[in-house]
Amino acid sequence: MNVGNVVGQILDHKYKIEKELGKGGMGTVYLATHIGTERPVAVKVIAPEFMQRAEFVERFRREARAAGRLRHPNVVNVTDFGFSATERGEVAYLVMEYLDGCTLGEILEEEKRLPLSWSIDILEQVCSAVQEAHEQGIIHRDLKPDNIWLEPNQRGGHTVKVLDFGIAKLEESYNISSENIDAYSIVSEGDEQTHHAPGRKTFAEESQAATFAEKKSKTIVSESATVAQIFEPENVNSEAGTLVQPIVNDLEKSTTILPAGKMKISSEVENTGTKLFSDPLKTNERRPETALTRNLTHIGAVLGTPLYMSPEQCRGERLDTRSDIYSLGVIAYQMLSGKTPFTGNFTDVMTAHKEIEPPPLDAKKIPRKVKEVISSALSKSAAERPQTAQIFASKIRAQSEGIGTLLRRALEIYSQHLPKFLSLAILLFLPLIIFTILQVTVTSLYAGEAISHNTNSWLNAILTLGTTFVGILCGHFIIGTTTWIVTQILAMPLRPVKLRPALNAARKKWKTFAGTGLLSTILVFLGLVFCLIGFPILYVLFALVSSVLMMENLRGRAALKRSKRLVMRSLGTTAAAMSIMLLVPMFIYGLISFFAATTVKSFYDTKEKITSVGWEIKQSGKNESVQEEDKPNKGIQVEFGSGNVIGANEGASEKPNLGGINGLIQKTASEILMLPFQIFIWSLTSIIIALLYIKTRLVGGESMKDLLAQFEETDKPQSNWQKRIRERIQQTGKLTSKS
């Protein structure tokens, strides 16, 4: 199709056309220079042939309006729309930012399949753009690799841009004057004809191959609730050939797809009072007006590319945002497997989308649960798909991260904010530190015979009970507070980490931590006492109780059930993480205890030998003093080294028993050595549990936005520059929870 060469011309006195970048079914994209700023831009020019058809011009205008609504880093920026005179007549043009790079379709054509990490990065950016469009009331309806642009970001990665909102559905009515809408005609081109039924309007989608009026195939647009399609017997292995759907009064309802040759134009169409024209209209000639053209207030539903269309799109039903989710699922399927779920001619592909379950995703080294998420996006029922693009991206990201990724991320967060997390752990473990010091003091007093055995036993019992309770409470506090901080780090990574807001939030919930936290711990240990297998089960199921207590307004049984539901979403990863967090500290504690026992035993073995020598000397001295009964008994002292004196009283008849003191010293040494390790390990394991909590939420389709409400108070701008930014965002209507 000849769209006219405008290279070298200046459009609207503003844009000098430099060269052609690409050609589609409706027009051509050119590289141009904005004369006022000398900035390179991309200009899409509609073909002069289509300027005579109001529906094509309106589709072009709609693309400008749809893209113009969106201000998002992953949506191509549309800066201008207008009309300009050219050598071949007036044309409509659309101005966009000029992008370096290439389309995802070009990459897949060579690479076939992409690594999981790269695929997820692309999907997350695409889903972010699609989510923004959906929130603005825009359904793209033609998502495909050729409409996804990858631009190098000069940081080793790519910035993804979603293109072509030309057939996007805007959730609003378009009141188009009936005088600007032409009835359809039959345009003859050689042996091939494009048939149009009068009365209802359609749009042709721009594609990389034959679409509207090219001599490639027979395209039939029927008014009797059918869509126009380019019927080709060959297999459909490309993205060419976007379909055309007619307008019906209820927007998109009751539109079906029939193969060419089976379409019939009903008698009702002939009775509308319109007529078919065998030739294009002459200048200033008007076509008859019908009730349908007079009442047309919506630009109708243009179907997308068959390989990526949803079942409801193929059936011509009314669409919502979940139709785009299906297309995203097809794109994800293709990036990981190297092919789309269905191939064949148009009829076969559309029938498959409507009736056949997609084959299992054939890709090695892709986690099973990632495949399940993609499979859910390809569900025939829109209700069974992820309900938003953001949820779809979050679920794929969460399911792609196993225990190794989770531990690596925990170490990264810990190392980046080590002073903060250590300070938090020391502060929250201060009561436990105090109890440990008291235990050491009591042990020292007993070893020095300053307190009796009974007093030592009572004090140790009380301190052990207090240490246990305080340790449990401190553990829940540090996990909950760390969850708050980690959530803030992930949701708002550029904001400085502050401990005070998290501590204030935890302080308000101390009763909940003391009650529900203690209850969950008691249940875990009851599982150990009454049923050995119950301990690991309850230990895993209640792993997220502290995070739930902190981040959600739940307590008691509701919090325990919530923790269980979250854990069951990613049971394998949670069980592996909790096992590591249980066994590694136990192993290290065993090493520390062994080291303490060896050191104390070595010291007391030497001490006991010295005492034995002193006792034997005392005994021999006692025998010699039998003959000197009248002399005072002064006992015997043996000095070894500097200041080490062992004395033996005359009345001593047995060697001193150092076993009890040995055990107490060993226990005290172990506790002292374990305390720094406990602080270090608890701060790290708390980050792991926080990441588990966030992961399980994302796996269930719960976005981070729900958690961001926790930071509303702390997120208020404190500085004048922050307030000014917030005011400017409010003025543009772009204020969101992340702003």
* Mean pLDDT, range 183-200, rounded to an integer: 35
Q: What is the token pair recorded at 628?
A: 């000197």
Please, which pLDDT band fits residue 52 given cuts at 50, 70 and 90?
confident
Reference 30, options 49, 9, 59, 12; nearest CA is: 9
Identify the residue with better confidence: 638 or 292.
638
The CA distance from 98 to 594, in Å, is 68
Please, which pLDDT band fits residue 98 given cuts at 50, 70 and 90?
very high
Percent of the chain with pLDDT over 90: 29
Q: What is the token pair recorded at 398?
A: 């969460």
pLDDT tens across 137-152, in order?
889 888 999 999 999 9
pLDDT tens across 259-316, in order?
434 433 333 333 333 232 333 333 333 333 333 223 222 333 334 688 999 999 998 8
The CA distance from 321 to 399, in Å, is 23
pLDDT tens across 12-36, in order?
889 999 999 887 666 789 999 999 9
Identify the residue with better confidence: 311 or 194.
311
| Confidence check: pLDDT of 207 > 60 | no
If phi > 0 it is left, if psi is from -120 to 50 it is alpha, else beta; for residue 284 that is: left
* Mean pLDDT, range 426-451, rounded to an integer: 83
Confidence (pLDDT) at 282: 39
Confidence (pLDDT) at 617: 60
Q: With contact defined as beta carbons under 8 Å apart, do 715 and 709 qualify?
A: no
| Confidence check: pLDDT of 699 > 80 | yes
Query: How far out from the chain centre does Cα 573 lie?
Result: 17
Confidence (pLDDT) at 666: 63
Please, which pLDDT band fits residue 713 given cuts at 50, 70 and 90?
low
Reference 107, options 338, 447, 445, 379; nearest CA is: 338
pLDDT tens across 501-552, in order?
889 888 888 888 888 988 998 888 888 777 777 788 888 999 999 999 999 8
Please, which pLDDT band fits residue 245 given cuts at 50, 70 and 90?
very low
Identify the residue with better confidence: 279 or 587.
587
Confidence (pLDDT) at 89: 80
User: Which residue spans within 570-690 are E strands per DSSP?
Assistant: 636-640, 644-648
β-strand partners of 636: 648
* Mean pLDDT, range 670-692, rounded to an integer: 84
The CA distance from 284 to 290, in Å, is 18
Confidence (pLDDT) at 251: 38
* Mean pLDDT, range 684-711, rounded to an integer: 85
Reference 399, options 152, 166, 668, 700; nearest CA is: 700
Please, which pLDDT band fits residue 250 given cuts at 50, 70 and 90?
very low
pLDDT tens across 111-132, in order?
989 999 999 999 999 999 999 9
What are the backbone angles phi and psi of residue 621, rounded to the nearest 5°? -65, -35
Please, which pLDDT band fits residue 194 given cuts at 50, 70 and 90?
very low
User: How high is the mean pLDDT of the chain?
Assistant: 74
